[in-house]
Chain A
């Protein structure tokens, strides 16, 4: 449904995207991960026909995203990364205008979305909070029942409850056979919905992988507290990677090797286990660092 081939665009400051290639199949939810400024939005802008590729091509629903952009967009629900509405409108006026431009006047789905996202669309947009604007954007994206969804950081500004509603929405649409391309810098958001994901850094695709593979590449830290001080020494001499020790507590780094981790720890009495939270930035850094070491 979406095919990107050798897409290249360099900006005057040297940044840009270089030789980006991947494809998204029908019914697939595809994650597009990368830190800020890595080229996610630039790639998406090419898909929406806002920019002409310097090299390569982007195809959306069998139409060229540049030369046949209006035809391609007919099948797309797009949620921009930076929500910038028009001045002086109410939510309802904005939705009416977009619905008219989409050519769908059926209000049923729109009403349902508004009910599920729980907001008052009659509020003037300039008085809305960031989260509320994001909700208006989500309604505008989903209300015309498109075949393909292109979402640029869809959950930014939403509280955890609404993030869950959003994930439900995505999974329901996925069940109907809809296709998604979703950019994010939140791994957990991608984890819950995506089948595959591409990681982009400095404008280049680092990898395109099954989401489970990516999960196993995630490095996790566990703080294990032992009953016996001598067990600390024993663990230190095992194959596990120890980051630091503090009395009876040992911080162990695990990256995919969960089996070895559990088998080793099963040998000792354990007082406490806690998993340190790992930010997405950390996952990226781990991934990138691993790439550099291996490559």
Chain B
């Protein structure tokens, strides 16, 4: 890993990291501050959602809004969070390798004694740092809103909230992993973006299809996204340790493969 490269890459990407982080934190704060109102009117809302088919409620986590964990999962972590972090992971992973190769700037990064492996590890570190910052802002936003904006009677399970964020981070640790692996495989920035974006969307769609259509439940075995079930984490129905180790392992594997691929391939620089 090269400290100079890391510093400059963080500087170049900080604006985008902060935009994603702050936008999502503001959303979390907003939703959290609405929770007491929802909680007070839970009966009416349940009546409203009762008209949805069960499968749809299941897919979007609308079965129950009773606790903060369930509420924030349905309103944020089940959907918006996935989009924001998905876009960030794919976009940043492509920018960190494929874009530099496509535009030829990689020639400069590989003109010094810093080896290819070190360059790849540095770029991976920038991606992971970005994810950590965004998730941290999410957690900090929810935590601060929970402490400051809401009366104690609407207790927020901070332990559960932390777990949701932690597993959410590991999900995108893995998504970032295969995205940067794809990024290291392509010479063309647009094709790399299409491939990484396509795979991510497919994974998301498989998870959704499996949730909505009970017969297609097996599809969920083919996707990473089924490992992140925020509402179930909030209810304590998930083996967080198992899910975490699986996601971390898959991500790590992808990062190791990225370094290996980037070391061995011909670059059109």
A residues with a Cβ closer than 8 A to B are 45, 48-52, 69-71, 73-74, 76, 78, 80, 82, 84-89, 93, 96-103, 140, 144
Complexed CA–CA distance, A71 and B107 (Å): 16
Q: A100-B2, A101-B112 are in contact. Are A50 and B105 (CB under 8 A)?
A: no
Cβ A48 vs Cβ B110 within 8 A: yes
The answer on a CB contact under 8 Å between A69 and B108 is: no
State which of A50, A76, A82, A86 has its C-beta within 8 Å of the C-beta of B100: A86
Pair B2/A50 contact, Cβ less than 8 Å? no
A50 vs B112: C-alpha distance in the bound complex, in angstroms? 12
Residues of A within 8 A of B118 (CB): 70
Question: Which residues in window 33-62 of B have CB below 8 A to A?
Answer: none
The distance in angstroms between the C-alpha atoms of A70 and B11, with both chains bound, is 25
9 contacts between A and B (CB under 8 A): A50-B266, A51-B267, A69-B115, A73-B111, A80-B108, A80-B269, A97-B4, A97-B5, A101-B2
Which B86-122 residues sit within 8 Å CB-CB of chain A? 100, 103-105, 107-116, 118
Q: Contact between A69 and B116 (Cβ–Cβ < 8 Å)?
A: yes
Query: A100 near B113 (CB under 8 angstroms)?
Result: no
Which among B108, B114, B118, B269 has the highest number of chain A CB atoms within 10 Å?
B108
- Nearest A residue to B5 by beta-carbon distance? A101
Pick from A82, A99, A100, A144: contact of B104, CB under 8 Å: A82
Q: Which of A50, A74, A87 contacts B107 (CB 8 A)?
A: A50
Size bracket of the B interface: 20 to 34
- CB-CB under 8 A from B241, the residues of chain A are none
Q: Name A150's closest neighbour in chain B (CB-CB).
A: B111
Q: Which residues of A contact B266 (CB under 8 A)?
A: 50-52
The answer to whether A97 and B113 have CB atoms under 8 Å apart is no
Interface membership of chain B positions 3-14, coded 1 if the CB is closer than 8 angstroms to chain A and 0 otherwise: 111011001100
Give the one of B5, B107, B111, B116 with max A CB within 10 A: B111
Are B103 and A74 in contact, CB atoms less than 8 angstroms apart? Answer: no
Q: Tell me if A89 and B12 are in contact (CB < 8 A).
A: yes
Cβ-defined contact, A84 with B4, below 8 A? no
Partner of A102, one of B103, B113, B268, B269: B113
**Chain B positions 240-269 with a Cβ under 8 Å from a chain A Cβ:** 266-269
- Give CA–CA (A89, B13) in the complex, Å: 11
Contact of B113 among A48, A74, A87, A93 (CB under 8 A): A74
Counting chain A CB atoms within 10 Å of each CB, which of B100, B105, B107, B110 scores highest? B107
By the criterion CB–CB under 8 Å, are A71 and B113 in contact?
yes
Q: Which 10 A-B pairs have the closest CB atoms?
A: A100-B4, A84-B104, A70-B115, A74-B113, A97-B8, A101-B112, A78-B111, A50-B267, A80-B107, A51-B266
> Least Cβ distance of B44 to chain A in Å?
50
Interface residues of B (CB under 8 A from A): 2-5, 7-8, 11-12, 100, 103-105, 107-116, 118, 266-269
Cβ 8 A contact of B12, one of A50, A52, A87: A87
**Bound-state Cα–Cα, A78 to B106, Å:** 13
Please give, as numbers and ranges, the residues of chain A lying within 8 Å of B109 by CB-CB distance. Answer: 101
- The residue in chain A whose Cβ has the minimal distance to the Cβ of B115 is A70
Q: Are B4 and A99 in contact, CB atoms less than 8 angstroms apart?
A: yes
Question: Contact between B104 and A89 (Cβ–Cβ < 8 Å)?
Answer: no
B45 CB, nearest partner CB in chain A, Å: 46
Enumerate chain A residues within 8 angstroms of B104, measured Cβ to Cβ.
Answer: 80, 82, 84
Q: Is there contact, CB below 8 Å, between A103 and B8?
A: no
Is A84 within 8 A of B113, CB to CB? no
On whether the beta carbons of A84 and B103 are closer than 8 Å, the reply is yes
CA distance A50 to B118 in the complex (A): 15
Find out whether the CB atom of A80 lies under 8 angstroms from the CB atom of B111: yes
- Contact partners of A80 in chain B: CB under 8 A: 104, 107-108, 111, 269
Complex alpha-carbon distance, A87 and B269, angstroms: 17
CA distance A84 to B104 in the complex (A): 6
Asked whether A93 lies within 8 Å of B267 as measured between CB atoms, the reply is no
| B257 CB → nearest A CB, Å | 19
Given contacts A97-B8, A101-B4, contact A85 B113 (CB under 8 A): no
Complex Cα gap A45–B8 (Å): 25
* Of listed A45, A96, A100, A102, residue having the most chain B CB within 10 A: A100
Given A50-B107, A50-B266, A98-B108: A88 touches B12 (CB 8 Å cut-off): yes
Give Cα A170–Cα B7 distance, bound, in whole angstroms: 32
Question: Are B110 and A100 neighbours in the complex by a CB distance under 8 Å?
Answer: no
Inside 8 A of B107's CB, which chain A residues have their CB?
48, 50, 78, 80, 84
Residue of B nearest to A72 (CB): B113
Question: Of the candidates A49, A82, A84, A88, which one forms a contact with B110 in the assembled complex, judged by CB atoms under 8 Å apart?
Answer: A49
Q: How far is the CA of A100 from the CA of B9 in the complex (A)?
A: 13
Closest Cβ neighbor of A71 among chain B residues = B113
Q: Are B3 and A100 in contact, with the CB atoms below 8 A?
A: yes
| Chain B residue nearest in CB terms to A45 | B269
B110: chain A residues within 8 A (beta carbon): 48-50, 73
Question: A89–B113 contact, CB under 8 A?
Answer: no
